[in-house]
Each structure stands twice: as C-alpha cells, then as structure tokens.
Structure 1
Amino acid sequence: MSSIQNADTSRSTSIFTLFSAQLLPATLMLGGGVVLYAVECYITATIAPSVVRDIGGLELFSWMTTLFVAAGVLGSISVATRPRGIGLRTVYIVAALIFGAGNLICAVAPTIEIVLAGRAVQGFGAGMLGALGYTFIRFVYPEPLWRKASTLYAAIWGVATVLGPTLGGLFSQGSAWREAFIILVPLAGLMALSAPWLLPRVEDDRAQQKTPFLQIALLLGAVLLVSLAGTTGNMSSKIILVAISVASVSAMLTVERKSASRLLPQGAVMLSKPISRLYLTMFTMMLVLTSDIYIPYFLQTLHGVAPLVSGYLVALVALGWTFAAFFSAPFSGKRANAAIIVGCILEAVATASLIPFLARDNPSGDLVVLGPAVVAMFLMGFGVGLGWAHLVTKVIGLVATAEQDRASAAISTVQSLGGAFGSSFAGVIVNGAGLADPGGVPGGLSAATWLYALMALPGLVAIAMSLTLKRASA
C-alpha cells in the first residue's frame, strides 16, 4: 500500500491539498495521463483535414477517430484485465510508452494507413492512462480526498474540449500536423521514466479470474460499429450499424450476467444493484451531453454566428462542467446526493430548452434570442460537472477491494461508450430530420428541434437513476 496515503489531511480536505508537497508528484502524473487522453481526443479532430490534404486518404478519414475511440476503450479495459502480478505503476509505464510510440508512428507516417495504425496504438495507450487516473485514486490519496481527485479529473475533461481544438489549430497548416504528434513523444517518455519515482508501488489486490475475452470482443465490436455509424453518410447504413451495435452491447451484458469471468464489477449488469445504476447514470449523462457536437453548425446556420465565435460559444459547455466540478467539490453526504440529482435535472432541462432557444431562425444573431441558448449550453455542462465527481467516488467506494480496479477502469469505458453512442445517435437524428436534405435553414430548424427533443429523453433515465442512489455509499 502507498506511503502517500499517510499524508496528513486532517487539517484540510480542500482540492488544493492534492497539490501539497507530498501529493503533488502523483497528482501531476495521474492528472497528466488524463490530460493526454482528453486533449488528444480533440486535437486530432482539428488537424485531421490537414493530414488527408497532405498525404491523401480522404476515404479513410473517419477511421482516424473510430480507431482511436475503439482502442481507447480496449486500453481502459486492459487496466483491469491485465495479467495477475503486474502492478499499476508498471501499467502506467507501459501505457506512457505505448502512447508515445503511437504518436511517433503518426508523426513519421508516409501514408494514411500508417497514420491509422499509429492512431490505434496511440488510442490504446491513452485509454490506459485515462483509466489509471481513476484506478490509482484509492492508492494515492486518503479517502477524504477521493472526491477531490475525481473533481480534478472531471475538470480536466472539461478544459480539454477547449484546449484540444486550440492546440490542434496551431498545427493545422500544411505538414505542421506532424509536429502535433511529435511534441508529445518526449513528454510520454518523461512520464514513463518518472513513474517509478513519482508513483507509489502498490500490491495487485484483484481477485484471480480468467480474462473475459467474449465480453471484450462484443464490447469492442459495438464501439467500432457505433463509431463507424457516426461517420457514414448513408442513413440506412447508420441505422443498421447502430442497431447491430446495440445488439452487441445487449449480448455482452447477457454474457456478463451469466459468466464466471467478468469484465465489470459484480452487480454492474443488474439494475437492482446500486453499482449498475451508477454506471447507467454516467452513461446517459455523457450520451445527452454529446448532442453539443451540432451546436456550432446550428449557431452558424440559424443565428448567423461566425465559425470562430461559434467554437468559443460551444466551449461554454466545457466551462460549465469545469466550474460546476469545483463548485460541488466540497459537498458530501446528502449534499453530494443532491448535487447528482440536481445535475441530472439541469442537464436534461437545459438540453430540452435548446428546442425553443437554439432552433430559431435568427440570421441577425439577435442577443435577446441567442442569449438564452448560450445560458442553456453552459447549464448542460454545469449539470454534468455538478454530479460527476460524486458518481465516481460512489463507484470506487461501493465495491469490494478485489473489484476496485475493475470498477475504476470501467468509469473511463462507460464515459467513452456514452460519447460514442451519443454522437452516433445524434447523427442518425439530424440526418433523418433534414440536416442535409432539405438542408439550409429549414433543415437546420427541423434537425435542431428533433435532436434536442430526442436527446433530452435519456436525461430522464439519468434523473430516474439518480433518485435511487441516495443510499449508495459515498
């Protein structure tokens, strides 16, 4: 067990305690891993057009994101399913090296096929690093600081939605996209070299079991299919891919329920168990939030907002998440439970309110019309940030010690799944509602109305689940 846990936190459980002299090294390492995963999710989305303009491969463009997301989910799973006896510190070193190798492959790639291979390697390492942030929490910090560490990681994800595209924009000219990958290679190497000194050595206290290969294959297939659905332009293909993906997840849950070798902690596939409702709450909250990917288009098409300004306005979603995460960090007990419930309600209501506020023909950008939509965007992220860290803390504290690695790693997996399914569902909705045909203002009005009406519905599931979590351990 970590000696860091002996740090004196009796006098302060402020989030700033994470940056005290004794805890700072581990906080930088774990937070740095989450930063790499979160920021890289958004950097490549910005530089991808530059990549295909420079080396070709437009027909494979969509796979740059698809492979990264799928490999990221597989990487997060591998943290919990690693061979017995391999400690988390060793996993961190391997993850940093894999992430660095993936970036190096992308940086020197002469063809799009090599870039895709690099993206898969990069995504696997990034997924491991993201999961390790949550998995290490119980070893690095005393229990009173678990919620604060979760808050920090939640805030990082919010900041990444702004920082990632901004950094990507700096490298979006000509062949400069290669530098966007190469600059992360020495950073990953430094993290791997520093891990033995800055992270504690902890025992592998997991229960021994066989690797659940069938569940992993079904889940990975679902992620690949739903990610591909989000990138194809054919409506029929979208629906078929999403349907098969949902069926694959259903099959995985069925196998998981009956198998002795489990991918998720015990009870995670039974709604009667609190751990299952925690994961479902997190999944639906992320699914709803992903509907923000079309906000810039609607701002530009319906409200006459300039592209650059629309990018900064949608960043308010991330700002809301970050602000709420810090605002609710001191909460515990009943206040933490209330934060989860209020957060779910805020997200659902804010999403639904975009129907009258964002789905408006406002070519002059009248602030009286646009202002409420901007507030709603902020509140979407605020709702998620208000309860996310408390959900994470409940997950970690609810399961037995032997299953905490599995439970913690699953947080990152559920987060990625929510984003993947959310973006695909959003794509099916807007295309079916006329975004491209008839397109323009009429198509935009119809698409925005249907998108936020239907994407608010999973928010009702999140609210219902949150109301049942009062007795779950915090």
Structure 2
Amino acid sequence: MSESIVSSKETVPRLSSLFSRAYLFGTLMLGGGIMLHAVETYITATLMPSIVRDIGGLPLFAWATTIYVAASVLGSTFVAVRPERVTLNHCYRAGALLFGIGSLVCAIAPSMETVLIGRAIQGLGAGFLVALGYAFIRHVYPEPLWSTASTLYAAAWGIATFLGPTIGGIFAAGSAWREAFALLVPLSVLMAASAPKLLPPGDGERVTTKTPFLQIVLLVAAVVVLSFASSVTAPLLRGAFAAAAVLAMLATVAIERRAEGRLLPAGTISLGSPLARVYLIMLMLLVTICSDIYIPYFLQVLHGVSPLVSGYLVALLALGWTVAAFATAGLKGRRANRVIVAGALMEALATALLVVTLARHNPASGLVLLAVATLFIFLMGFGIGMGWAHLVTHVLHLAPAGETDKASAAITTMQALGAAFGAALAGIIVNSTGLVSPGGIEGALTAARWLYALLALPAALAILLALRLPAGKGDPAG
C-alpha cells in the first residue's frame, strides 16, 4: 500500500496524490477518523446548552470537555505503549468501537453524570483515532507525501469547525441532542469493521518498554486540577490548584527522565533534543490558539454580535489554519523552518493585537473595528497553520529508530495538553481579571486585554524555539 506514485522529480506533491487508487482508502479512513473526532467536538459544544436544559447538570457543564480531553490523552498514549502483538489497525478498530459506545451512552443518558461517562469513553476512542491519523502516515504513504498528508489531516479541523456548529445547531433547534449522538454510532461501527480491510497492519519495528503508568496518571491529574483552577472563584484556592498542576507536570518530567517505561521517545526530556523543541513549539502554539474559546463571548458582549454570527466569525480561525496549511504544504528544508518561525510570529502578533481591537467596547457593531478584529482572528489560525504540517513531518523524521509510533502518538498528546492547558489558563486569566467580578462591560474589557496580552507570550516563546530547528530533509541549503 505504500508504493510510491510520486515522481522523484516532483518537488511539490499534489494533494490529489492522496486520493489516487493506491492511497484512497487509507486517506478516507485516516481522514475520516480525525474528522469524526473534530466534527463531534463542535457538535457537542453546540448541543451542551440543550442537554443541560433537558436533563440538568449545569455545575458539570465544563466537565463535558475536561473529561473528554483527559480521556483522549489516555487513548493517544495507549497507541504508543500498546502490547507488542497489537497492530495499528487493531487500535483503529478499538478506537472506532469505543467512540461508538461512548456516543451510545450519551444518546441514552438519563443524567449529566451518565453523559460524562459517555464523554470519557468517546474521548478514549478519539485519542486512538487522532493518534493513529499521524502514526499511520509512514505506513500508508511514501515519504514525499508525509507533509501533504499532514496538511490534509490538519485541514480536517478547519472543515469541522464549519460543519460541527451547523449540524449541532440543526439538532439543537429541535432539542434532538440524543439523535445527534445516536447518529455517530453506526458510522463508528462501519469504520471499525472496515479498518482491517482498508488499512495496512502497521506493525513495524517498535521498542517495547514498560507502560509509563505513573506519567500518564500525573498528566491526566494536571489537566483535571488545572481545570478546577479555571472554575473556582476563591483566589487562594485557584492558586493552590494551579500550583498543584505545575507540580504534577514537573513530577512527570522528573520521572520521565529516569523511567524505564517512557511516555515520550528516548532523549526527548531535554531542550538539547530537536524533537523536544518540536513538541514544545506545538504545545506553545496550541496554548495561544486556545485563547479563542472566549472570542464568541467578547464578540457578543463588547461588539453586539449575535450568537450565530459570533460562532462563524471565530470559525474563521480554523479557516485560516486550513488555508495556510495548503498554501505552505510544498515547502521543504530550511524554507519549511522559516515558515514555522513566520507562522509563530504571525500568531503571536495577531493574538496581541486583539488587545486593541477585540478588547474594545463597540456596542453599535462598527464594521471597521469588527472587520479588523476578525482579520486578526483569521491570522491567528493562519499563523499556526503555516507551520503545523511541517512540525508533524519533523516529528516523523526525528523519531528514534523503533519509536515512530510513540513519537506520532505524542503529537496527539501535545494537542490534548495544549487544548486543556490553554483553555484552563484562559479561564484562570479571565476569572482573575474581572470577567465575573465586576463583570459586565468593564469586566469583559479588562479580562479580554489581559487574556490576549498574556496568551500571546507562548507563541512568542515558540518563535525562539523554532529558530533552532534542524534543516530537515529537502532543500537543505534553503
């Protein structure tokens, strides 16, 4: 399935190559798994108000996301540390089945507690599917198509950002949230049944180590505790939870450095490692981009935009990611590294400039100010999209021998951690700077200014890290 159809003289493989006869089914399966997870994420976000109105559980509202993200970390790490006889297509089948079971539990849930159980099972399956989208790249495609495939899978998120709210809105309008979850069940079963037939086994050489159980527990604990920190109102308690999350992360690093059973590839726990820098760049860019969770709120409160319009304006961020991913897919070597640096710079500047555009009181919805703010929202996504596929390709090239599966799964772990930490840090910042107290316009203005000023800093740090990336393969002379 990996016979190359890409000419050695072809410097920029075409996207259509992924849909040729040799790769079509692999592309549909892997892209479908990521799309299933991405679309469902936005569907659930749209449906949650309807779920709460129907079965209650408002105090547990935020946990529908937190428990999903925490479970996805577990799912992605299993792909890397799975038993030796378990192939990647076995993992795909298990992930699709878990996703379907979780969707069924949500569909029949009598209470919010049951919904959370379903979300945990869904998240576990989603962690499998997203990690496999990257882990399978080297098994399904020849090396010249790795970056192009990474671009396609990154673009799936952009498409999902438009599809998810639309589908969720249709079901939410008729209070048919149960049917929305039920619809995912037969699709998941179909994907699980097709995996052994349409995907290669994916049982390449691996370094088998003990399961890094303690590191996984500490990572999940850090995500959960930081989520608590973002939601509590008492400043001292918020600080205590945040400190506990930091300690859990430091303990994870300390244990990983000496453990026989590792969560990350060998040598990664060191800034001297190029692979470590790639992971940190991914994490920093994702933390910054997650400041977008409050954009709809600020658009509505400060700029008088309707909920529906605000939802589609923030979707421009994902559109920017998709457009940039396709625009820069053909770059190689030092050119790819330069675009990673440029993208991180663009994301940092666009986020910081929301301080003077989005964080302004514009009750008449003045088009000029709103248009400029919307442009910066688009450029936030464009910045991360410029370099993401190239960062994925770096991971595949830099992974130690026998640890490519572990390195690929760690991409998904970074995504989950970036989303969780970014959302939690955003919650801590806005709740500490006036969103709730004093609240109203004044509180929203102060919170927005602090949020985008502070969360531009991780992307700025990513610039410094990206300056030291290796040239990689292809056009080393730039």
User: What residue in structure 1 maps to residue 146 of structure 2?
Assistant: 146
1:194-273 map, 5 Å: 194-273=194-273
Cα drift, residue 329 of structure 1: 0.7
User: What residue in structure 2 maps to residue 40 of structure 1?
Assistant: 40
User: What residue in structure 2 maps to residue 305 of structure 1?
Assistant: 305
Greater Cα offset, 234-243 or 107-116 = 234-243
Greater Cα offset, 395-404 or 128-137 = 395-404
Q: Structure 1 unaligned runs (5+)?
A: none
Cα drift, residue 209 of structure 1: 1.2
Contact 2:265–2:403, Cα closer than 8 Å, also in 1: yes
User: What residue in structure 1 maps to residue 324 of structure 2?
Assistant: 324
The 3-state SS of whatever aligns with 1:260 is coil
Question: Amino acid of the residue matched to residue 154 of structure 1?
Answer: A
The 3-state SS of whatever aligns with 2:363 is coil
Cα drift, residue 472 of structure 1: 4.8
Cα drift, residue 359 of structure 1: 1.5
User: What residue in structure 2 maps to residue 366 of structure 1?
Assistant: 366
Greater Cα offset, 108-117 or 187-196 = 108-117
Question: Amino acid of the residue matched to residue 42 of structure 1?
Answer: Y
State how far apart, in whole Å, the 2-side matches of 1:51 and 1:370 are: 32
Q: Deviations over 1:18-51 (max 9, x none)?
A: 0112211000000011111122222211111211
Cα drift, residue 180 of structure 1: 0.9
State how far apart, in whole Å, the 2-side matches of 1:373 and 1:113 are: 38
Q: Deviations over 1:107-138 (max 9, x none)?
A: 11222222211111111001100100000000
Alignment match of 1:10 (pick from 7, 12, 16): 7
Question: Amino acid of the residue matched to residue 369 of structure 2?
Answer: V
Cα drift, residue 234 of structure 1: 4.5
Q: TM-score, normalised by structure 1?
A: 0.96
1:31-430 map, 5 Å: 31-173=31-173, 175-430=175-430
> How many residues are aligned here?
471
Q: Structure 2 unaligned runs (5+)?
A: none
Question: Amino acid of the residue matched to residue 21 of structure 1?
Answer: R
Are 2:471 and 1:471 aligned? yes
Contact 2:95–2:125, Cα closer than 8 Å, also in 1: yes
State how far apart, in whole Å, the 1-side matches of 2:304 and 2:323 are: 28
Question: Amino acid of the residue matched to residue 248 of structure 1?
Answer: A
Q: Deviations over 1:248-291 (max 9, x none)?
A: 11110110011121110112210011001000000000000001
Contact 2:230–2:431, Cα closer than 8 Å, also in 1: no
Q: Deviations over 1:285-340 (max 9, x none)?
A: 00000011111121122222222211111111111001000001111112211110
State how far apart, in whole Å, the 2-side matches of 1:177 and 1:401 are: 46
Cα drift, residue 99 of structure 1: 0.8
State how far apart, in whole Å, the 1-side matches of 2:220 and 2:243 are: 15
For residues 247 and 56 of structure 1, do their structure 2 counterparts lie closer, same or farther at Cα, with a shift above 3 Å needed? Answer: same
For residues 8 and 471 of structure 1, do their structure 2 counterparts lie closer, same or farther at Cα, with a shift above 3 Å needed? Answer: closer
Greater Cα offset, 435-444 or 455-464 = 435-444
Contact 1:86–1:204, Cα closer than 8 Å, also in 2: no
Q: Deviations over 1:82-117 (max 9, x none)?
A: 111111011111111111111111111222222211
State how far apart, in whole Å, the 2-side matches of 1:385 and 1:329 are: 10
State how far apart, in whole Å, the 2-side matches of 1:188 and 1:231 are: 33
Q: Deviations over 1:118-167 (max 9, x none)?
A: 11111100110010000000000000000001101111122223322222
For residues 425 and 169 of structure 1, do their structure 2 counterparts lie closer, same or farther at Cα, with a shift above 3 Å needed? Answer: same
State how far apart, in whole Å, the 2-side matches of 1:187 and 1:233 are: 41
**Amino-acid identity (%):** 56
State how far apart, in whole Å, the 1-side matches of 2:7 and 2:387 are: 25
The 3-state SS of whatever aligns with 2:412 is helix
State how far apart, in whole Å, the 1-side matches of 2:233 and 2:176 are: 29
For residues 140 and 229 of structure 1, do their structure 2 counterparts lie closer, same or farther at Cα, with a shift above 3 Å needed? Answer: same
Question: Amino acid of the residue matched to residue 323 of structure 2?
Answer: F
Contact 2:348–2:380, Cα closer than 8 Å, also in 1: yes
Q: Deviations over 1:371-418 (max 9, x none)?
A: 221111111000000000000000011112311000000001101111
Contact 1:66–1:228, Cα closer than 8 Å, also in 2: no
Greater Cα offset, 13-22 or 177-186 = 13-22
For residues 145 and 407 of structure 1, do their structure 2 counterparts lie closer, same or farther at Cα, with a shift above 3 Å needed? Answer: same
Q: TM-score, normalised by structure 2?
A: 0.95
State how far apart, in whole Å, the 1-side matches of 2:93 and 2:225 are: 31
Greater Cα offset, 64-73 or 174-183 = 174-183
Question: Amino acid of the residue matched to residue 240 of structure 2?
Answer: I
The 3-state SS of whatever aligns with 2:207 is coil
State how far apart, in whole Å, the 2-side matches of 1:27 and 1:437 are: 49
Greater Cα offset, 446-455 or 379-388 = 446-455
Cα drift, residue 204 of structure 1: 4.0
Contact 1:235–1:431, Cα closer than 8 Å, also in 2: no
State how far apart, in whole Å, the 1-side matches of 2:420 and 2:347 are: 18
Cα drift, residue 473 of structure 1: 5.4
State how far apart, in whole Å, the 2-side matches of 1:442 and 1:55 are: 34
Contact 2:72–2:125, Cα closer than 8 Å, also in 1: yes
The 3-state SS of whatever aligns with 1:6 is coil
Q: CA RMSD in A?
A: 1.5
